[in-house]
Structure 1
Amino acid sequence: MAKRARIRCSNKKDGKNPRERITHVGGLNPDGTQRKRSIDQAIKDIESGEWKFYVEEYGRTVDVV
C-alpha cells in the first residue's frame, strides 16, 4: 500500500513567474521533519506506487496525479 503525503509547498526557478515549471514539492514527514522532493523524484514515487501525494486547502483534498 502506498504511503500518503500532503504537499504543503512548491519551488520554482523563478518564483514570481506563474508560467515557470515547479521544480520541487515539500511538506512534513510524520516525525515533523521537513520533506522536499524534486518533481522528477515525486513522479517516480507516484508511478512506482510507493507514494500518493495530495494537496489540501479549505477542507478540500485533491490527489496529485
Structure 2
Amino acid sequence: MSSVLEMLSLFLTVGQHSLSFQFELKEMQRQEEEAAERRGHLGGPSRSPPHRGFETEPDGTITSEFL
C-alpha cells in the first residue's frame, strides 16, 4: 500500500513541475508574440528588419489619436 502512495506522490510532484514548465513556456510565447506585434509583423522570421513608420506603434495609440 505504501508503494502505491509513494508512486502517487512522485507522480504528483512530476506533474506539478511539468505544469509550471508548460505555464512558463506559454508565458514566453505570449511575450514573444507581443514583441512581434510591437515590431509590426506577426510570425515573421526574427531576422527580417521591423517595419518603419506607424506600423510599429501599438493599435491602441493609433486609434486613440484619431478619436
More helix by share: 2
- Is the structural similarity TM-score above 0.5? no
Ranked by relative contact order (alpha carbons within 8 Å, sequence separation 6 or more), the top structure is: 1
Give the TM-score range, shorter chain.
under 0.3
Q: Pick the structure with greater CA Rg.
A: 2
